[in-house]
Amino acid sequence: MLKLFDGYVHGGLTRRDFLDRAAKYAVGGFTAAAMLESLKPNFAWAQQVAKDDARIRTESLTYPSPQGSGTMRGYYARPAKAAGKLPGVLVIHENRGLNPYTEDVARRLAVLNFVAFAPDALTPLGGYPGDEDKAREMFAKLDHVKRIEDMVATAGFLKSRPECTGKIGAVGFCIGGTVANTLAVRIPDLGAAAPFYGGPPAATDVAKIKAPLMIHYAGNDERLNARWPEFETALKTNNVKYEMHMYPGTEHGFHNDTTPRYDEAAAKLAWQRTVDFFNKTLRG
């Protein structure tokens, strides 16, 4: 069921395809439609840091993307009482836009003494719509080239913030993990990148990576894991500093604590590794 859901989430299956294939797993009143509903995100689960937490300040900010969509919007989170400037972290969402889960990840970083900025790739189409199915449909309509430029533009914006030291990293999930890898290619002075189950860059682009990488994969994610050997060879060939962690028995999306794909033990371990990695690479 989780593999079927992964196919549906990433556009490999239509809603009808999912329901037809899931029907064979139906038991009693637990229909295919009920299964799909049970797999949809519950954002109340994900709120580890409340929007009005006194330790942080949050706001929606616009930023220029002259090579992309012109003007973009994102979610900015920072400590309420910082002693001096702090390192920054870009938080790149999955293929559903800037949803509450991604905003909460930004707040989690803010309480850990980072300034965090989470751009919304759906800005050109009006922003995250509040409905995950509609958000995926919107995301698929984005101009791919402009979308990447919109994400690259976030780096200069975050560096320019008066609260930021200018040392920044990137963490991304799913397609956001792919973008985190792309930012490592495109931004020579990126301080660090932590892609969660993201697609690798082209092998010929790996030589451009100067930032150390903290790479997280789900053990049951055959689609992406099949690409790891080639990626690893390119990293070694080009002497890129990296760590790769594979989490056995987990599904693609295991860090997202709004769906049944969430694996608490793996998510907490991967997150602590990521925070330690950013503390090591972005501070000092």
This prediction's pTM? 0.88
Alpha carbon distance 209, 187 (integer Å): 8
Alpha carbon distance 65, 73 (integer Å): 10
For position 258, what pLDDT does the model report? 87
The 10s digit of each residue's pLDDT in 126-185 is 999 998 889 989 999 999 999 999 999 999 999 999 999 999 999 999 999 999 999 999
User: Is the confidence at residue 4, as pLDDT, over 80?
Assistant: no
Contact 273, 171 (CB under 8 A): no
Q: Which domains does the chain have, with CATH numbers?
A: 1-39 (no CATH), 43-282 (3.40.50.1820)
Q: Quick check: helix, strand or coil at residue 22?
A: helix
The C-alpha R_g of the chain, in whole angstroms, comes to: 18
The 10s digit of each residue's pLDDT in 204-248 is 999 999 999 999 999 999 999 999 999 999 999 999 999 999 999
What's the burial of 223, exposed, middle or buried (CB within 10 Å: 0-12/13-18/19+)? middle
For position 284, what pLDDT does the model report? 72
Cα atoms in the 13 Å half-sphere on the side-chain side of 227: 14
> Which residues are the active-site residues?
174, 221, 252
For position 13, what pLDDT does the model report? 59
Helices 2-9 & 32-39 angle (0-180, nearest 10)? 70
Q: What is the percent of the chain with per-residue pLDDT over 90, rounded to a whole number? A: 79
Which DSSP letter does residue 99 get? -
